[in-house]
Amino acid sequence: MSLVQRSLLDKIAAEGVDFALWSSIMSVGGGLGEIFVNHDARMNIAGDHAIPQLIESHKRSKVLTNLLLLVSGVSGALAYQQTKDKYWLIGSGLMLAGIPYCVLVEYPVAEQLKFLTLDAKSEKAKSLLASWGGIQLGKLALAVGGATIFYWFARR
């Protein structure tokens, strides 16, 4: 590794605490918006309008959401490298756990809803739409846990 590359990595690692803290806060803010604004609005409109809106919203937000989780997790690991405080690794793990959570829990529900757009008034569609809020709460809980740990140890 060249001296320039090593110097750049050292600068990024030095900012790991700030990157971890701010990206985790943005991730929590996005999760709160999804639950308390988007999902709440979807639950108050007809299923034949709510499901296509959820699918479009999910398509747009999944990349940004996972990117924020990835930046937070990697930044937490860099903060650990800088501080050697193991709690940064715990926060990093919580943030990174949101990515497989999206793949294993959120994505299959979104895929099922894609196939139910023609039958949006069915009980299964209503049930999946209602469960979306709980799924988002799970992802938000991981992000809040990671952000709380990051905030607590950034204040030290």
| Cα–Cα distance for residue pair 18/79, rounded to 1 Å | 9
pTM for the whole structure = 0.83
- The pLDDT of residue 146: 93
Domain range spanning residue 78? Answer: 3-154
Separation of alpha carbons 26 and 85, rounded Å: 23
Average pLDDT, the chain: 85
Query: Is the distance from CB of 24 to CB of 147 less than 8 angstroms?
Result: yes
- Whether the CA torsion 58, 128, 53, 37 is positive or negative: it is negative
Q: How far apart are CA 146 and CA 131, in angstroms?
A: 23
Phi, psi for 145 (deg, rounded to 5): -60, -50
Split into its structural domains, the chain has a count of: 1
pLDDT tens-digit series, residues 34-74: 888 888 888 888 777 888 888 888 888 889 899 999 999 99
Read off the pLDDT of residues 114-152 as tens digits, 9 standing for 90 and up. 876 656 677 887 888 888 889 999 999 999 999 999 999
pLDDT of residue 101: 94
- 5 CB burial (10 A radius; 0-12, 13-18, 19+): exposed
Closest to 61 measured CA to CA, from 97, 94, 77, 37: 37
